[in-house]
Chains A and B, each alone.
Chain A
């Protein structure tokens, strides 16, 4: 009576997904069919057609409601089916890919390891970059915080209080501003040994500007920073923990700082402290005399931009204010400018280049790894041409094939990424542990959520990047050819070209990395061999600051230094000991004095020459082995009351006494109390010693005898007969015996001091060197892979050549030449690339040009050599081909 429904087999193949409109039409058609059938039935019973249709409608019930209800249901079913289908297909792809990869464990392992290494390195470098450069500061709206600084002639400086106050009063683009200066102070009494703390002297707005809450207690109240305000202090969480065991009762109690009681009013959370090296914060409490001293500059400033104000607006406003202040106070403010920069930029300033170079380098490594994997996949996909052709012939579309191959490379990337993250967690910890402590915010570095997100992103990018070329290559099937030839490549020429291009690119990248690493290595070697001008072996240094409350006369300072030197030199292990002020090399701090030279025409006030100045005892010069080029060093005869003397470094002698003999000339340093010029006779020239850093050029420097210019802040050096570090306790004991309330701090051997100033370049060099090594290995593997594959492909041809009389050497040469051609091409490209890329790292290089020809030639040679070895191995195999086997296609 009715034809059996034909059930088309559409589900077995492609399901034509229905649109919402199609779903609606289907429902309408179904219902209409029903209504027509009922009407027809009624008509057969004798109803008139009109009436039958009406009756059918009536009997149906709620037609519109049903229509809507069914459409809704069908649409949701359609959507669900689409999803299930997609997931099923994906599941199929994944299962298939895993099976395929499982079948070639060697290939899979090499690829996953390569990717894990590269992604681990990239992720861990990114975690450092993120933690230091990108992660917002832990303050309220940190992007609104700016550092404000005066500048003149492009040099950044610090504010005097009046200038800060006037800028603050006139600025409309900032809501709050803080001023502060850093210093250090002795902590004594309760809780342990005396210690030296780094402190910040701040105005009352300092903490509220940051928008953080105290861990305990409160911040400074308005007015607490006025001259003669209360002695209150905010301390760091670390100090609270270390010395007072987090005693909650400490807030409200007094601690002894610099010999005075200060009441603790608050504790700063260790995550939120600023700056990160400070341990105590003390109200500025301006003294009346330097309050109005416009030339006395010592304040750093911090401000919060007003809502709606941009940095640009604040900058142009600052320029207007600075010009006004310069006109108003031409004496102190000549050429005054005021600059602003985001606080975050100012914190990371110096390491930015280094980190970006490292990130760039590690991305190169990742790129090389991608190229390598792409190459391996390409080789593999060529080998699988037969399989792909069969699948295409069975109806798999090119989209499906691409998807299948991309699934494979994504799975490889995900496996590599997962292993890489594991590696990165470990590597990041190791990096933080070995990183030089001078790098700001380094302890905040870790593998956190944004870093993981980055790792995921590079994993996906890697999967796509390395899988795309092989996939596209495979999706252009030449069915007939491939099926006919079996597994032997039909598109091998195109595939070979693709592989060659990849290898050349890989070599170029490796050359660029090697060049960068080579430059840093050479620069570091230069630094290591730099002439320090002093001896570092067996020298210990530490610092002492004599509190001015108790050491209020020059005589007391001299007595302390003489007593300490005598006691230290009495120790059997000590050869000689001495003390100095701003003379110790490589520990930072600059002290510059202006001077005139007696007998020369007078210079207008404010235009005197300046040079670095330090004060030292004779023992200090002996302990550091500073050698005298001419004249004499000062000695024990240069006392208070005897002729005042000075020694200059060679730079000062040649700068200020060109063509003259400085010995016997007199430097004038201001005036004595009675108005007479304060003169120092130059008695010797000492050989230049390094000043603040290893890299910088030596500036003119004078040294005065401590006895004739005593100061309270001391660096003490001790030359020992044995291990200097072992002397620490004995030295501290000697200091305590003279004054039990004096902490010694920053205790280090001079060898450590030198190592620390080279720590950052060393860190970059080691990392970049490591990356370059990885890159070199990857490039070698890449060349090897391509040549080995080419040899296998050309086995027949080689067999024929040998059958026709080609010697082994000839075959060997032919194959190696192929590898070398790629290497030379890649090396040339890489050298050109390096010329551009290494420009970014100029500031990291010491006495090495970014285009250093020796390094470039060396790098190119290394690469070509590696390429030669990498192609020699497959070439040797090729030269041992048995022509018989090769001709039969069995080699």
Chain B
């Protein structure tokens, strides 16, 4: 895959993971693919960063993991949101919204 993806802002990985997990429990590979697909390949999340973020979030109790079986019956580690994680996601989303709006306003004025 060519390297045309946008560089991710620090801290955004966490929101992306949390958001992705709202669709249901997933293992790391699915999360990675899901993010890539939903952003139409624009957001290239490096696997190393994804897994480090997953374990970080798990340590913070925002997500929790269980071992389960993947589609072809291999043991895989599934993550899901905790209550704490859901709350965190809400908070991040609203501040993200405010941020985007503020930045957009500035940019719109300049391009006008």
Given contacts A5-B66, A70-B52, contact A34 B71 (CB under 8 A): no
Contact B55 A33 (CB under 8 A): no
Are A34 and B47 neighbours in the complex by a CB distance under 8 Å? yes
Whether A73 lies near B70 (C-beta < 8 A) is no
Interface membership of B41, Cβ < 8 A: no
Q: Which residue of A lies closest to B74 (CB)?
A: A33
In the complex, which residues of chain B have a beta carbon less than 8 angstroms from the beta carbon of A61? 46-49
B56/A59 in contact, CB under 8 A: no
Chain A residues closer than 8 Å to B59, beta-carbon distance: 73-74, 76-77
List residues of A (64-88) whose CB comes within 8 Å of B's CBs.
Answer: 65-66, 69-70, 73-74, 76-77
Question: When the two chains form their complex, are residues B55 and A70 in contact, meaning their CB atoms are under 8 A apart?
Answer: yes
A8 CB contacts on chain B under 8 angstroms: 66
Give a binary string over B53-94; 1 marks a CB under 8 Å from any A CB, 0 the rest: 001101100000011111100111110100000000000000
For the complex, what is the distance from the CA of A201 to the CA of B67, rounded to whole Å?
86
Pick the most buried of B46, B51, B70: most chain A CB atoms within 10 A of its CB: B51
Please report the C-alpha to C-alpha distance between residue A34 and residue B77 in the assembled complex, in whole angstroms.
Answer: 10
Tell whether A33 pairs with B52 under 8 Å between CB atoms, given A5-B78, A77-B59.
no
- Per the bound structure, the CA–CA distance linking A294 and B56 in Å amounts to 86
A77 neighbours in B (Cβ, 8 Å): 58-59
Measured CB to CB, the closest approach of chain B to A532, in angstroms, equals 83
CB contact between B27 and one of A33, A62, A76 (< 8 Å): that residue: A33
The CA of A417 and the CA of B32, in the complex, are separated in Å by: 59
A7 within 8 Å of B (CB atoms):
yes
By size class, the interface of chain A is 20 to 34
| Interface flag for A17 (CB, 8 Å) | no
Q: Is the CB of A5 within 8 A of B47?
A: no
Residues of B within 8 A of A449 (CB): none
Q: Are A7 and B55 in contact (CB under 8 A)?
A: no
Contact of A66 among B1, B27, B52 (CB under 8 A): B52
Residue on A nearest B69 in the bound complex, by CB: A3
Name the residue of chain B whose CB is nearest to the CB of A10.
B66
Q: Are B66 and A34 in contact (CB under 8 A)?
A: no
Nearest-neighbor residue (CB-CB) of B61 within chain A: A77
Contacting residues, chain B, for A59 (C-beta < 8 A)? 1, 46-47
Give the distance to chain A from B63, nearest Cβ to Cβ, in Å. 12
A329 beta carbon closer than 8 Å to chain B: no
Instruction: Give, as a whole number of angstroms, the nearest-CB distance from A62 to chain B.
Output: 5
Which chain B residue lies CB-closest to A76? B59
- Which residue in chain B gives the minimum CB-CB distance to A77? B59
The residue in A4, A5, A34, A77 that gathers the most chain B C-beta atoms within 10 A of its C-beta is A5
Q: Which residues of A contact B24 (CB under 8 A)?
A: 4
Give complex CA distance A629, B96 in Å.
115
Chain B residue with the shortest CB-CB distance to A66? B48
Give the docked Cα–Cα distance between A7 and B80 (Å). Answer: 10
Residue of A nearest to B47 (CB): A60
Contact B71 A2 (CB under 8 A): yes
Q: Say how far A101's CB is from chain B's closest CB, in angstroms.
A: 34
- Chain A's closest residue to B77 (CB) is A30
Residue of B nearest to A27 (CB): B55
In the complex, what residues of A have CB within 8 A of residue B32's CB?
34
Q: Contact partner of B70 among A2, A60, A62, CB < 8 A?
A: A2
Residues of B within 8 A of A7 (CB): 25, 66, 68, 78, 80
Name the A residues within 8 Å of B67 (CB-CB).
26
A residues 22-43 touching B (CB-CB < 8 Å): 26-27, 29-31, 33-34, 36-38
A834 to B12, CA, bound (A): 80
With A8-B66, A34-B47, A77-B58 given, is the CB distance from A1 to B52 under 8 Å?
no
Interfacial chain B residues near A65, Cβ < 8 Å = 48
Name the interface residues of A746-769: CB closer than 8 Å to any CB of B.
Answer: none
- Over the window 20-51 of chain B, the binary record of Cβ atoms lying under 8 Å from chain A Cβ atoms (1 yes, 0 no) is 00001101111010000000000000111101
CA distance A860 to B84 in the complex (A): 70
Measured CA separation A2–B70 after assembly (Å) = 6
Query: Do A6 and B48 have beta carbons less than 8 Å apart?
Result: no
Smallest CB gap from A31: residue in B: B51
Complex Cα–Cα for A7 and B75 (A): 13
State in angstroms the CA–CA spacing of A878 and B32 once bound together.
79
Give which listed residue, B1, B58, B69, B80, contacts A73 with CB less than 8 A. Answer: B58
**Assembled-state Cα–Cα distance A27/B49 (Å):** 14
- Could you tell me if B48 and A62 are in contact, using CB atoms closer than 8 angstroms? yes
Does the CB pair A63–B29 fall under 8 Å? no
Find chain A residues with CB under 8 A from B70 CB: 2-3, 33
Pairwise interchain contact A29-B75, C-beta atoms closer than 8 A: yes
| Minimal Cβ-Cβ distance residue in B for A57 | B47
Query: Closest CB-CB distance, A61 to chain B, in whole Å?
Result: 3
- Nearest CB on A from B77, distance (A): 5
Give me 19 other A-B pairs in contact (C-beta within 8 A), A2-B71, A63-B48 excluded: A3-B71, A4-B24, A5-B25, A5-B68, A5-B69, A6-B69, A8-B66, A29-B75, A33-B29, A33-B70, A34-B47, A59-B1, A59-B46, A60-B48, A61-B48, A66-B47, A70-B51, A73-B58, A73-B59
8 interchain residue pairs of minimum CB distance: A5-B68, A61-B48, A2-B71, A5-B78, A37-B29, A60-B47, A70-B55, A66-B48
Question: What residues of chain A have their CB less than 8 Å away from a CB belonging to chain B?
Answer: 1-8, 26-27, 29-31, 33-34, 36-38, 59-63, 65-66, 69-70, 73-74, 76-77
9 contacts between A and B (CB under 8 A): A3-B69, A26-B67, A34-B27, A34-B32, A60-B47, A61-B47, A66-B52, A69-B55, A76-B59
